[in-house]
Structure 1
Amino acid sequence: MSGVIRSKEARRRAVYVAQILGVTGAYYLSGRLGLTRQVVVDGAVVTPLWPPTGISLAALLYFGARIWPGIALGALFTVSAIGDAFTWSRMGIVLGNTLAPLAAYALLRKVGFRNELARLRDGVCLVFLGAFAGMLVSATAGSVMLLLDDKVPSGRFWLVWASWWAGDAMGVLVVTPVLLVLRRVRRPRLDERWAEACVLAVAVVLAGLISTRSSLSMIYLVFPVIIWAALRFQLPGSAPCALVVSVLAIMAGTDSLGPFAGHTLMEIMINLTVLNACVALTALLLGAIVAEHQNIRRETEHAVVELEALVEQLAPLPGPPSGRYDDGPPGAPRQGGRPAQ
């Protein structure tokens, strides 16, 4: 018996270590991918979208707070890869990058957040608590560390802070919903919805390329596609579409193409942040609203079926066609209380 218990305990430890290593690897690889589109704002390396924050929060929502060592190790390896020497200021950045998703996770659990994102309140909480509030920690810690290390002028502190916060928040808004819906996505049947999903995938790529690379500044072209995805497929359709549009926009922005040509670095960062935020909010909130309405409709239909069954059980048995009932055996009381003659 003790051997079985030890075997189960060893298996749990192996699974836990595998989860830690998986989160570490995902953080590091996504960080390296994000750094391919890095920009330097007054000496600080920032990105328009920082995927590790979205991966970290999704990992915490899946596995719980016990997964934090994987986030810390991933942040440590990623920050170490940016420069040559590892200083105390970089340790502060690692600490901030670890605490930020933990703070977002604690806030979401405090308000009863559900990973399914099937309610409007869950979408709103992810936006304001997970992205906007939680990422204040990493942006503040990173900017303060760079300021204390004399790598950022004091007069440009808030500019660096805003750029850092925007990139981390966009990582949560764009990446976390995709990872949360992956667990419950099922392979669709080969019917008209499968064909519609293929058409939607082609449409979002074409709309994203045209809107982000055309000199006509047709950024608004992506929103009908995002709305289509949310109405027809909810978050499993709208969240990946938002990710595709954001990636295409970041590639065009960092290359100064299309509507981003001829603008300064800060103007490009502002435009990218606004575009990514609008796309992510549209996909997230509209998808949650549609899912919530569908759940309410299903619950209402189920309640109606149960009520109909209850009414059928309580309904009186039908009488004879003549409308008269038998008097029963001799001597039995009638309706008026008199015995039968």
Structure 2
Amino acid sequence: MVGTENLRRTGVVALQVLAVAGCYYAAGRLGLLRNLAVEGAVFTPIWPPTGIAVAALLIFGLRVWPGITLGSLLVIMHLTSLQPQVLGNLVGNTAAPVCACLMLRAVDFRTDLSRFRDGLALVFLGALTGMLISASVGVGMLVITDRLHGHGLWEVWLAWWVGDAMGVLIITPLLLALHGARWPPPLSRWQEATGLALITCGSVLLVTFSSLSVLFLVYPLLIWTALRFQLVGSMLCALVTSVMATVAATERAGPFEGLDRIEVMLKLQAFNGTMALTALLLSAVITEQRNTRRSVERACQELVEVLGHLTAGNTPPGGPTRPDGEAGDRAGQKETGR
């Protein structure tokens, strides 16, 4: 029995590792569909594999880290041939999400993002701090192999770091929310979600490709989706908006028309970053307030039940009862006084 149980656990872990590797590779291929060139180096404004890697480690545990390495290797092999510097990239791509996961665990991070502090931890530890490793190692390997010179070092490093961080800010909370969501939602919620999705897609398409600089019109949609559907709704809205903004930026259309490469990168990353931060932190605040309200309502309901029992002269459920000895003593005192 013990051997069978160990074999079953090994098989489950192997399947999880392969699933993580497959998702990492597929997300990498999707991320490479839209890219920008800065100082001769190509980068993606949103790198989804980092978000998948952090979410997989938080959900399945650190045991699936080989899947991140394998997926990263497959993505690199798609881009170039195997060379000695590939090992450094593999180390950076694996170490960054692993360190992010360890830092989140150290601060008692909850995967349901039910507290405002969980949102802050994911932003500052999981995304901004953890992805410093992958960006530094990746750019360092470009410098070592003479593919990047010193004058463009900081621009490429910033683009790499922000792209990896955006993957964590958008993809990780969305996957965590979908993993913890209750399925299937009520039919009424599906109807509202469908209508809101149609409105969001139409508005985002208009805003991101309009010649007017009206990207700020996305924020009312983020607030609406966060109020009605919390983390799942707001992060889906942020993902759709980020994808459409990235498409517009790579085609130099809409608000990105007439800008040079550096200006496009800065404007796009500033918009994506502030939007993702707004969606994530607002959803965390709303979820925390709703949980607090439910706790208060539950406590009030229990208090009403206790007061009802006391008014009726009954002992409330779970309340204290007088010992038999004390009741007998009082009965004896009444009988003696007659």
After TM superposition, the score normalised by the length of structure 1 is 0.90
Task: Determine whether 1:16 maps to 2:13.
Answer: yes
Q: CA deviation at 1:333?
A: 5.2
Q: CA deviation at 1:10?
A: 1.8
- In structure 1, runs of 5+ residues without a counterpart are 319-330
For residues 188-246 of structure 1, what are the alpha-carbon distances to aligned partners after superposition, in whole Å with 9 as ceiling and x for unaligned? 2222x332211110111111101110101211111111100001110021111111111
For residues 124-163 of structure 1, what are the alpha-carbon distances to aligned partners after superposition, in whole Å with 9 as ceiling and x for unaligned? 1100100000000000001111111111111211111101
After TM superposition, the score normalised by the length of structure 2 is 0.91
For residues 237-294 of structure 1, what are the alpha-carbon distances to aligned partners after superposition, in whole Å with 9 as ceiling and x for unaligned? 1111111111111111111111111111111111111111111111111111111111
Name the structure, 1 or 2, with higher relative contact order (CA <8 Å, separation 6+).
2
Distance 2:277 2:161 in 1: 17
Secondary structure of the 2:42 match is strand
Secondary structure of the 2:194 match is helix
Counterpart for residue 31 of structure 2: 34
Q: CA deviation at 1:307?
A: 2.0
Secondary structure of the 1:286 match is helix
Greater helix proportion: 2
Given candidates 33, 44, 47, the residue that maps to 2:44 is 47
1:49 touches 1:170 (CA, 8 Å); kept in 2? yes
Counterpart for residue 236 of structure 2: 240
Distance 1:88 1:45 in 2: 20
Counterpart for residue 82 of structure 1: 79
Secondary structure of the 2:110 match is coil
For residues 66-109 of structure 1, what are the alpha-carbon distances to aligned partners after superposition, in whole Å with 9 as ceiling and x for unaligned? 110000111111112212x3222222111101100011101100
Counterpart for residue 250 of structure 2: 254
Aligned residue pairs: how many? 321
2:135 aligned partner, one-letter code? A
Counterpart for residue 194 of structure 2: 198
Counterpart for residue 279 of structure 2: 283
Counterpart for residue 296 of structure 2: 300
Task: Determine whether 1:131 maps to 2:123.
Answer: no
Structure of larger gyration radius: 1
Secondary structure of the 1:146 match is helix
1:210 touches 1:218 (CA, 8 Å); kept in 2? no
Greater CA drift, 55-64 or 154-163 = 154-163
Task: Determine whether 1:176 maps to 2:172.
Answer: yes
Distance 1:254 1:272 in 2: 10
Distance 2:179 2:98 in 1: 21
Given candidates 107, 111, 116, the residue that maps to 2:112 is 116
Counterpart for residue 57 of structure 1: 54
Return closer, same or farther for 1:6/1:338 CA change in 2, 3 Å cut-off: closer
Secondary structure of the 1:45 match is strand
Task: Determine whether 1:157 maps to 2:153.
Answer: yes
Counterpart for residue 217 of structure 2: 221
